[in-house]
Amino acid sequence: MATLDHLKSVISIGNVDHTSLALPSSNQCRSGQQRVREQVETLRRSKTRLSSSRSASTSLSPTSPTIDSVFREAPKLNSSTSNGGFFFPNGYSKTHSREPNFSLYSVNNIQGASVKRTAGSTYQHVRSFAGISSTARGQANTSHSEPGMAWNRSVPTRSAPPQGFPSSRAIHREERSSGHFVKTPTSPLQYQPVFTGQTKSSDQFLCSEVEVTKTATGGPAETKGNTGSDTANITMKEAVEYLSSAEETYQHCGASYIQHNTFINEEAKDEVLKFKGIHPLVDLLRSQSSLVNETSSAALRNLSFKSISNKEEIHRSGGITEAVALLRETDSVETQTQLTGLLWNLSSVDSLKPDLLKSALPVLMERVILPYTKGHDRTSGSSRDPEVFFNATACLRNLSSTKQSNRQAMRKCRGLVDSLVSYVKECVDAGNPDDKSVENCVCILHNLTFQLEAEAPALFSRITALAKTVCRTSSEGDTGPIGCFSPQKESSEHQRRFDYPVVEDPQPNGAGFLIHSSTLQNYLSLLATSQREETQEACCGALQNLTTNDGIVSSVMSQNIVQKLKGLHVISPLIKSPKVNIQRNTVALVGNLTKNPNLHIAIVHKALPELLGILSAGTKEGNESDDTLSMACQTSNCLLMNKPEMGKHLVNSTLISSLNDLSKNTNLPKSSKSASVLLYNLWSDKDLQGFLKKQGMSKSSFVNDITAAAHKSVQVVE
């Protein structure tokens, strides 16, 4: 939500038993070819008859059945969880083709779900260090219509004193579920994932056996006809003309033809636009026929898949207003599925987000989110369908990225944050951490934590009120910023310790849940149990965002994570995760936690061995992430300089040899500099120097031209 490669593309995975696309009907009386040809010929005869006898009659009345199974959708298949890959950083991964799935932040690029370290970043994934930079993680964007985009992630440049690392994740998807990030400058570095996914719906215009395929990114499934039967003998122009017919049979026929052809042929989308077919399709959303409503919704969903021009035309034709109006009224699960899929596709376009927030958000809350998360009976009512909920949360995932105004509107939306947190907790408690909607929910929450302290300071009033005296006292004896690579001075005698029951709201609601320990516990639980990388990235990104700054708020949030929730038991093992983005984000999060001196002892015990393990392996085990190795060096430096007696037994010849190799590696400039500074500082500490000499190590391994130059450059910056 993040390197930032989080744009996801659609990949077919065969034999999946679920599809969010409109399917052809499975009831059949005659063969497919017979029924298609018979109906088309009947329509043609009727049309001819109408033109020759228009004076005698004003309505078409085809003699063929009004509704033929050729134009009907098959019963909905059971859905199965898609295989996800965040989003969205967090949302904000660099590879998010999300239409910035996730987020706002400017990045110095780190790919995957990594950290942005430029002045700002959009995937709100900020991670910060306490002598080390903090970074925040970006938001994740979720839209299943278009192929998801990878999250863009970048790493902010370090300044002295180092600041927190931003997180960026995923969570973006374009016409499918995926995550993508938008980058924007922010300080401290942060990034949000943008998720802009879109989905297609396919109503088989042909009578054929259905083959279901699913996208690997977790986007909605697609359906394709798999037979050699002939297509109906009408043209796209005629299909568009049918849409304006007074007869529902013709309207349905035209919409079905468009739905099917735009699913199997990208050029068909341009044809519909050329023949001005989008406006009449939008008009059909007001039809009294539920079948026409459903088919028109599915056709618009396919037309909007990966097509900016069609999305904009749908908007100009009043498509958002009509889709929202129909969603408010219909109780059809299939129609709701198509409408929420359409809104998901549209939400990947930044220019449409304001209208979607104004018009669609209230209805999605009323008809989908609240009934699904608060209702006791999820078996009654279409709004409690899991696929409808997934599409709705994918749409909200996209909307939660990019602009501050979007985030503010969603934080203030009554019941939204409460519902998302409630759903995540329910799935965690039920042992279902890989639910695909959980990914969307945590990506939204991740995005909403981006720059939370600056954008919603009232949420932290308890903390700031309690800390006023502490801050005043500590500021009097403050000797200046402490750099990550410079030995820290004696910390203030006054320890920033807080009484959690006093600081925390015992009955949180709304945006208050974004900082509550119960929500943080859910993130830790998902980090420990979920197999979905984007879910893990979003959880890590949210924790990064809450700990990215240097003030009292991040300090309290860090203590909550480490001391109250015992989060290092979950976080530390992830430092060695084989997933590059997860490892990068975890190392950045540990760096943020290290900014709080009160946590150094716990971090030295739980995380320092893992950090030094990464550095000892260096690039020998395939780790070539400049950002990860650099952050590991910086965090290790901070801990070893502050707790040398506790950490020196972890320093050995293998580690020093690996650090020397890194210091000379010009292909990893950030790691080279950080490793050089760490080596120089190890020898500069008298206690550590004595220990190193006893191990038979010489000064030249620590102080040489390379390390001295790096140390000097850091001193100049500070």
DSSP assignment string, 167-235: --B---BSBBS--EE-----SS--B-EE----------SS---EEEEEETTS---EEEE-S-PPPPS--
The whole-angstrom separation of Cα 692 and Cα 629 is 22
| The two three-digit tokens of residue 1, written as one number | 């939500």
| 3-state helix vs strand vs coil in the chain, percent to 5 | 55, 5, 40
Q: Looking at residue 35, what is its pLDDT?
A: 45
3-class secondary structure, 105:
strand
224-265 per-position pLDDT tens digit: 333 333 445 799 999 999 999 999 999 999 999 999 999 999
For residues 599 and 563, is the Cβ–Cβ distance under 8 A?
A: yes
Residue 220, number of CB atoms within 10 A of its CB: 32
Calculate what percentage of the chain has a pLDDT beyond 90. 57
| The two three-digit tokens of residue 550, written as one number | 């240097």
The whole-angstrom separation of Cα 60 and Cα 51 is 10
155-189 per-position pLDDT tens digit: 332 223 334 555 544 344 444 333 222 222 232 33
| The two three-digit tokens of residue 249, written as one number | 């049979």
| The two three-digit tokens of residue 166, written as one number | 């931003």
Q: Looking at residue 59, what is its pLDDT?
A: 30
Q: Looking at residue 715, what is its pLDDT?
A: 81
The whole-angstrom separation of Cα 303 and Cα 199 is 10
Q: Which residue has the tokens 């965002």?
A: 545
Q: Looking at residue 164, what is its pLDDT?
A: 58
3-class secondary structure, 484:
coil
pTM for the full predicted model? 0.74
In the Cβ-directed half-sphere of 442, how many Cα atoms lie within 13 Å?
A: 42
Task: Report strand pairing: 6-7 vs 149-152.
Answer: antiparallel
What is the residue extent of each domain of the chain? Answer: 1-27+75-227+373-471+481-579, 607-718
| The two three-digit tokens of residue 92, written as one number | 């904000």
For residues 246 and 254, is the Cβ–Cβ distance under 8 A?
A: no
The whole-angstrom separation of Cα 73 and Cα 448 is 38
Calculate what percentage of the chain has a pLDDT beyond 70. 61
For residues 157 and 118, is the Cβ–Cβ distance under 8 A?
A: yes
In the Cβ-directed half-sphere of 78, how many Cα atoms lie within 13 Å?
A: 2
Alpha helices in 572-652 (DSSP H): 580-593, 600-606, 608-617, 626-642, 644-647
For residues 268 and 258, is the Cβ–Cβ distance under 8 A?
A: yes
The whole-angstrom separation of Cα 557 and Cα 542 is 11
Task: Report strand pairing: 134-137 vs 125-128.
Answer: antiparallel
CA dist 67 → 253, 292, 337 (Å) = 9, 10, 21
The whole-angstrom separation of Cα 508 and Cα 503 is 12
Q: Is the peptide bond before 508 cis (omega within 30 degrees of 0)?
A: no
Q: Looking at residue 496, what is its pLDDT?
A: 53
Q: Looking at residue 199, what is its pLDDT?
A: 63
Q: Looking at residue 62, what is its pLDDT?
A: 30
Integer-rounded Cα Rg, in Å, for the chain is 28
| The two three-digit tokens of residue 44, written as one number | 């043609």
DSSP H or E segment with residue 556: helix 552-559
Residue 351, number of CB atoms within 10 A of its CB: 10
The whole-angstrom separation of Cα 386 and Cα 374 is 14
The whole-angstrom separation of Cα 467 and Cα 47 is 79
| The two three-digit tokens of residue 570, written as one number | 């979950």
Low-confidence ranges of the chain (pLDDT < 50): 1-33, 35-36, 48-135, 137-145, 147-163, 168-194, 203-231, 378-382, 481-483, 486-495
| The two three-digit tokens of residue 437, written as one number | 């909607």
What sign for the dihedral angle of Cα 414, 415, 418, 419? negative
